[in-house]
């Protein structure tokens, strides 16, 4: 299927919430930024759920949804790093992984016909921990309740980010090699 539907509308809404989220953070409205981030996260879960139960998966949604996720997460990590609330090294790891995967995906599309870009369980876990980390940082701005877990969450997020990046690279290499063997 192609075109606009409710899940794709929710994905576009998530993309439109990104500049709102960034501005709220930069101007010090941390609770409002947290609410917008949670709302964006809710649209992520809701769009996938609606697409599955209503059989409304589209080609547009297949590409737009992960791009919206990456945009939201990248905006969160970059902005929180700019505000000195997230370590620079963590943001570099996350952005580097995503850039490498984007370049790899584009190369495979140029070399071969389209292929399945569906996320793996480790990729979904990585996204979940990146979201949890950002939410925890946002909560810790206003309260010290979760600040003690931030180093542990950063470590888990780093391990998952690197592991999933290596796993996706491995999948891409297998895909290229299987095409060349034919």
The confidence band for 116, taking pLDDT boundaries of 50, 70 and 90, is low
Closest CA to 15 of 60, 59, 62, 75: 75
* Mean local confidence (pLDDT), 140-161: 90
pLDDT per position as a tens digit, 49-65:
887 888 877 777 777 88
Question: What is the 3-state composition of the chain as percent helix, strand, coil, each rounded to the nearest 5?
Answer: 80, 0, 20
Q: How far apart are the first and last CA of the chain?
A: 29
Question: How far apart, in whole angstroms, are the C-alpha atoms of residue 53 and residue 146?
Answer: 35
* Mean local confidence (pLDDT), 114-131: 84
CA distances 60 to 64, 68, 176, Å, are: 6, 12, 24
CB under 8 Å to 30, separation ≥6 — which residues?
24, 138, 141, 142
CA distances 5 to 33, 57, 70, 75, Å, are: 27, 9, 21, 25
CA distances 160 to 51, 79, 91, 123, 127, Å, are: 27, 21, 13, 8, 9
Closest CA to 77 of 106, 47, 37, 48: 37
pTM beyond cutoff 0.95: no
pLDDT per position as a tens digit, 69-99:
999 999 999 999 999 999 999 999 999 999 9
CB under 8 Å to 146, separation ≥6 — which residues?
136, 139, 140
């Amino acid at each position: 299927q192609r075109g606009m539907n409710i899940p794709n509308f929710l994905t576009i809404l998530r993309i439109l919430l990104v500049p709102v989220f960034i501005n709220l953070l930069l101007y010090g409205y941390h609770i409002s930024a947290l609410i917008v981030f949670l709302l964006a996260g809710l649209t992520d879960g809701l769009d996938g759920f609606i697409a599955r139960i209503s059989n409304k998966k589209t080609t547009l949604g297949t590409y737009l949804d992960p791009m919206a996720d990456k945009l939201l997460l990248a905006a969160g990590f970059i902005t929180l790093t700019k505000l000195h609330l997230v370590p620079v090294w963590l943001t570099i790891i996350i952005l580097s992984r995503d850039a490498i995967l984007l370049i790899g995906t584009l190369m495979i599309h140029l070399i071969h016909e389209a292929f399945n870009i569906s996320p793996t369980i480790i990729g979904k876990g990585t996204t979940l921990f990146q979201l949890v980390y950002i939410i925890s940082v946002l909560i810790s701005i206003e309260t010290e309740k979760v600040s003690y877990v931030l180093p542990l969450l950063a470590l888990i997020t780093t391990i998952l980010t690197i592991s999933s990046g290596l796993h996706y690279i491995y999948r891409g290499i297998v895909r290229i090699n299987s095409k060349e063997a034919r």
